[in-house]
Structure 1
Amino acid sequence: MQAKLRAQANQHSIEFMLVGAVCLCIIMAFVILRDSVISVVETALVSIAIFSILLGFLKSQQPYYSIVLGTQSVVYIHKFGRWKIAFDNVHSSGVPKAGEAPELLELNAVGIKLVSIDPFLLALKPRLAGKLLIEQRHIFLQAVKMHCKNGNCPSEWLIESDEYSSDSGQVYTGLIAMFANRMHNLKTLTGYDLLLPANVLDRDIWRFSYLLNRWKLDPAQVVKNLLEEQATNEQM
């Protein structure tokens, strides 16, 4: 039994493309029939219509489902791969904060703390690790900035090494090692090993964090509730 959650980033892709295309056709038809030079306002409207089409297309390229929550694991689906965490390897989750009180910054993501990083890293594909390093760097740098207001940051926080040895003695190299170092640094800064950015979730970060913590307490009941909720929404 598992529930599939659709990312907010993937929603309304067809609507964006359709509205943009219709608006573009109307504007161009009006300009052609009028037989005059296109105005600045019309140029701006054309640009907005093209942007809407492009945005809809980019949204459509994202996986239809981004999170699969089952009774035995949680899976994150990315267009370049997926990662999976077994139920017993999830320690806790929450909204990560960076800095020191009273100046704490909430990152726009959900953090996941693992019991052990080795099962996760051994299953992680280098291609996905590389994409996540790039895509989530801006969130990580927000945490770094809050801890380095004097400008003196450890160099390993800014450039991840391609070698890493876990607490169990497992040695990693290449992109997996770089991702492992990012996880280590992220945990130092926020207390969490992994990030799920807000745009890959089907609800806001606080509600999703609460959902994951409820799932950790009673996975079968949470998955059942999600399936019932989805069934109700489809009937409406």
Structure 2
Amino acid sequence: MFCAIVLIVLCGAVYFYPTANAAAIAIIFIMALAMLIIAYKQSKEPALSFTLTFMHIQFHSSYGGWLARWKNIAEIGPATICYQGWCEPVPWVGVRLKNYDEFLESICPRTASKILLEQRILLILAYKRSDDPPHEIEDMLFDDTHYLTSNGRVLKGLLAMLANRMRYNRELLGYDFFISEDLLDRPTDDFVGLARRYLAAS
């Protein structure tokens, strides 16, 4: 609202004072316009990040989301990275699935891309802490080998890359994908406790 008022005042100033410093007005105009665009984008963000029901957990965002039914979740827990017998907690919640197909078919390529980019740091850290990594890090980060679902559908591109990344995550980290603490409305341990209660009741 404030940015819109600034833009209106600037337009009025240019109209009534044509001799005003054009460069200064242009800079203020660009800044106000940028703030207005940012405010508009933030207003489009969903009010909720997660929905937990007796059937599923669902993530919502402006770029898409994902859904996992409780009956397809094997484990939810705080993520850790281990090295020489010592495990260090990281600000993420790990999710291990029983079957990848349903999860992969519920998300769009844009969501898959965000997961791949945002969660790659965890795989890199786990790789660096591993005494004998099973694969080269480049092979794990960029593996786009086609993924065949149980119903015969072939996933390619970003969805195939996500399926392969989930397999590597499980191998090195024990979970398939992760939820950043930044997305939660409560501490990680509280969220894990709540999710586990839903999981136990399903």
TM-score w.r.t. length of structure 1: 0.61
Partner of 1:116: 99
Q: Matched residues in 1 for 2:127 and 2:194: separation?
A: 27
- Report 1:1-236 matches (<5 A): 57=39, 62-147=45-130, 153-165=136-148, 171-218=154-201
SS of aligned partner of 2:171:
helix
Over 3 Å counting, the alpha-carbon distance change for 1:173 and 1:66 in structure 2 is same
Q: Matched residues in 2 for 1:210 and 1:101: separation?
A: 28
Q: Matched residues in 2 for 1:188 and 1:170: separation?
A: 24
* CA deviation map 1:151-184 (0-9, x unaligned): x845422323242345786532111001111111
Q: Matched residues in 2 for 1:167 and 1:206: separation?
A: 34
* Contact 2:148-2:154 within 8 A present in 1 as well: yes
Residue ranges of structure 1 left out of the alignment (5+ in a row): 1-16, 18-52, 220-236
Q: Percent identity?
A: 28
Q: Which runs of 4+ in 1 moved over 6 A?
A: none
Whichever residue aligns with residue 91 of structure 1, its letter is A
Displacement of 1:61 after TM fit? 5.9
SS of aligned partner of 1:203:
coil
Q: Matched residues in 2 for 1:118 and 1:158: separation?
A: 20
SS of aligned partner of 1:92:
strand
Q: Which has the larger radius of gyration?
A: 2
* Contact 1:186-1:193 within 8 A present in 2 as well: yes
Q: Matched residues in 2 for 1:154 and 1:170: separation?
A: 28
SS of aligned partner of 2:164:
helix
Superposed CA RMSD in Å reads 3.2
Which has the larger displacement, 114-123 or 167-176?
167-176
Q: How many residue pairs align between the two structures?
A: 170
* Contact 1:105-1:146 within 8 A present in 2 as well: no
Displacement of 1:63 after TM fit? 2.7
Whichever residue aligns with residue 179 of structure 2, its letter is L
Over 3 Å counting, the alpha-carbon distance change for 1:87 and 1:158 in structure 2 is closer
SS of aligned partner of 2:163:
helix
Whichever residue aligns with residue 193 of structure 2, its letter is Y
Which has the larger displacement, 155-164 or 108-117?
155-164
Which one has more relative contact order, counting CA pairs under 8 Å at least 6 apart? 1
Partner of 1:3: none
SS of aligned partner of 1:107:
strand
Partner of 1:225: none
